[in-house]
Amino acid sequence: MSIDETKPELNKYNWGYDPQNYNVPEGSYSTDATGPAMRIREFKQMVKAMHDNGLRVIMDVVYNHTGATENSNFNLLAPGYYYRQNPDGSFSNASACGNETASDRPMMRKFIIESVLHWVKEYHIDGFRFDLMGIHDIETMNQVSEALHAVDPTIFIYGEGWTAGGSPLPDSLRALKSNVLKLNKVAAFSDDIRDAIKGHVFTPTEKGFISGKAGLEESIKFGVVASTQHPQVNYDSVNYSKAPWAPEPYQTITYESCHDNHTLWDRIAVANPDASEAERIRMNKLAAAIVLLAGRKLPARRRRDAAHQKWRRKLFRIARRDQPFRLVEESQIQGRL
- List C-alpha distances in Å: 249 to 104, 138, 224: 27, 19, 10
Backbone angles phi, psi at 20, to 5 degrees: -130, -60
Name the amino acid, one letter, at 325: F
Alpha-carbon span 178 to 197, nearest angstrom: 20
| Pair 197, 228: CB distance under 8 Å | no
Give residues with Cβ within 8 angstroms of 262, minimum separation 6: 204, 270
Backbone angles phi, psi at 156, to 5 degrees: -105, 125
160 is catalytic: yes
Per the residue annotation, which of 100, 160, 192, 218 is the catalytic one? Answer: 160
Alpha-carbon span 33 to 121, nearest angstrom: 23
User: If you count DSSP H runs as helices and E runs as strands, how many of each does the chain have, helices first?
Assistant: 10, 5
Alpha-carbon span 245 to 211, nearest angstrom: 27
Per the residue annotation, which of 100, 131, 137, 256 is the catalytic one? Answer: 131
Alpha-carbon span 284 to 61, nearest angstrom: 29
Q: Quick one: 135 exposed, middle or buried, by C-beta within 10 A (0-12, 13-18, 19+)?
A: buried
3-state SS assignment for residue 176: coil
| C-beta atoms surrounding 5 within 10 Å | 15
Alpha-carbon span 91 to 97, nearest angstrom: 11
| Pair 192, 240: CB distance under 8 Å | yes
Signed CA dihedral, 24, 26, 28, 31: sign only: negative
Alpha-carbon span 59 to 126, nearest angstrom: 8
| Pair 193, 254: CB distance under 8 Å | yes
131 is catalytic: yes
Active site residues: 131, 160
